Amino acid sequence: MGNAMKEKCAEILDKAYRKLHPFFYHRSESRLYRYCMYGSYRHYRKCGARREGSRKELFVTAVPNRGAGIGHQMDGWMAGIFFARRWGIKYAYSPFTNKKWDEYLGFGEGQVTAQKLLRDKKYRKVKLPYFDEQNPEEVEEIENIVKSYAGEKVVFFLELDQFCCGQHELGDYLRERFMSASVRKKDVTFYDPNLFHIAVHVRRGDIVDSDGKIMEEYRQRWLSIDYYLAVLDTLTEFLDKEKVRIYIFSQGKRENFKEFDKYENVSYCLDESEQETFGNLAKSDLLIMGKSSFSYDAALLQDGIRIYPNSFWGTCPESDQWIRLDDSGRMDEKQKARILEFASKKWGIS
């Protein structure tokens, strides 16, 4: 069988697994029954948690969901790094299925890959059950499964879409990996290095229909133009307009964003490539996030100010550089002072 045929078969099997597994797994009310579907759990029940053996040959990885958008894929992928740290074992890289994104992010540069460990180093692939990271009992049980393999050569695979709530703890690591990747030399940056860049991510293209109406299943991901205008109105009140440039990142026709025309210092970055949009959000000085994992993941890589709505579902750090607003976009005096102080120290803007 040729490589092309093997890849095609693997893709078909992967698609079938993604369709069928949730049907059998999530429809069972018994956690014990669900766990017993996995050889790793049966191994743990047989061997117990080997607390004495070395874990130096244990790795964990997470394969991004090939059927999801890049923000969703990154959220799942980050779980591999998060749980490797939590369990005190090593991390093995699994690439993004979209080669263009995989090369652009550069996260795998210099990393040991799960594929290489399984192929060349003769490691064993072991799949872990899906678990609720916020349930201490389930977390302890999964860690005990991992411990039961101490002394062996194993690559643990997290279940499809095994997310974690601690992605924000990985910000420094992800930022260093992204910014130091050799591919950054090819980046296209829209910003004037002499100005303070406010990037505004207005999520539209994938949550509205052909008539521009919000699709009901995506209503929770919608933020009105009024929200963005309220935030920008406040920012332009106390930041020096001559030193600030606003960049609107979205999809759609120019006339759909005419409300932003009132700002003299605004640029429209519409229908740019996903990679260029993501990179410029991550390199902005101040990012006004949309309700999306795409925004959130760019914010984790960013090193300036992030403003996000109170109704956003992601976990954001407790930091002066992360500003939470209600969905009206109103900002209190304390929040204004935090932004002004940070901007003044870093960029000399008042």
* pLDDT tens for each residue of 226-247: 899 999 999 999 998 889 999 9
Residue 131 shares a structural domain with residue 226:
no
CATH number at 340 reads 3.40.50.2000
Residue 286 shares a structural domain with residue 179:
no
Residue 168 shares a structural domain with residue 41:
yes
The confidence score (pLDDT) of residue 266 equals 95
* pLDDT tens for each residue of 113-128: 999 999 988 899 999 9
Strand 124-127 with 244-250, pairing: unpaired
Residue 215 has pLDDT above 80, yes or no: no
Residue 21 has pLDDT above 90, yes or no: no
Residue 19 shares a structural domain with residue 38:
yes
* pLDDT tens for each residue of 98-112: 899 999 999 999 999
130 belongs to a structural domain: yes
The confidence score (pLDDT) of residue 328 equals 85
Domain that holds residue 67: 12-185
217 belongs to a structural domain: yes
The confidence score (pLDDT) of residue 344 equals 86
4 belongs to a structural domain: no
- Output the average pLDDT for the chain: 86
The confidence score (pLDDT) of residue 313 equals 76
Tell me how crowded residue 324 is: count the other CB atoms within 10 A of its CB. 13
1 belongs to a structural domain: no
54 belongs to a structural domain: yes
Q: pLDDT tier at 219 (50, 70, 90 boundaries)?
A: very low
Residue 245 shares a structural domain with residue 207:
yes
Q: pLDDT tier at 209 (50, 70, 90 boundaries)?
A: very low
Domain count, the chain: 2
Residue 66 has pLDDT above 50, yes or no: yes
Phi, psi of 112 (to 5 degrees): -75, 135
Q: Can you give the three-state secondary structure of the chain, one letter per residue?
A: CCHHHHHHHHHHHHHHHHHHHHHHHCCCCCHHHHHHCCHHHHHHHHHCCCCCCCCCCEEEECCCCCCCCHHHHHHHHHHHHHHHHHHCCEECECCCCCHHHHHHHCCCCCCCEHHHHHHCCCCEEEECCCCCCCCHHHHHHHHHHHHCCCCCCEEEECCCCCCCCCHHHHHHHHHHHHHHCHHHHHCCCCCCCCCEEEEEECCCCCCECCCCCECHHHHHHCCCHHHHHHHHHHHHHHCCHHHEEEEEEECCCHHHHHHHHHCCCEEEEECCCHHHHHHHHHCCCEEECCCCHHHHHHHHHCCCEEEEECCCCCCCCCCCCEEEECCCCCCCHHHHHHHHHHHHHHHCCC
- The proportion of the chain whose per-residue pLDDT surpasses 90, expressed as a percent, equals 57
Tell me the average pLDDT across 14-23.
59
The confidence score (pLDDT) of residue 97 equals 86
5 belongs to a structural domain: no
Tell me the average pLDDT across 83-93.
96
Residue 110 shares a structural domain with residue 235:
no
Instruction: Among 2-16, 20-34, 275-289, 299-313, name the one with the lowest average pLDDT.
Output: 20-34
- The proportion of the chain whose per-residue pLDDT surpasses 70, expressed as a percent, equals 84
- pTM here? 0.84
28 belongs to a structural domain: yes
Residue 205 shares a structural domain with residue 236:
yes
Tell me the average pLDDT across 176-197.
92
Residue 108 shares a structural domain with residue 133:
yes
Q: pLDDT tier at 204 (50, 70, 90 boundaries)?
A: low
Residue 89 shares a structural domain with residue 165:
yes
Handedness of CA 108, 12, 145, 171 (dihedral sign): positive
Residue 216 has pLDDT above 50, yes or no: no
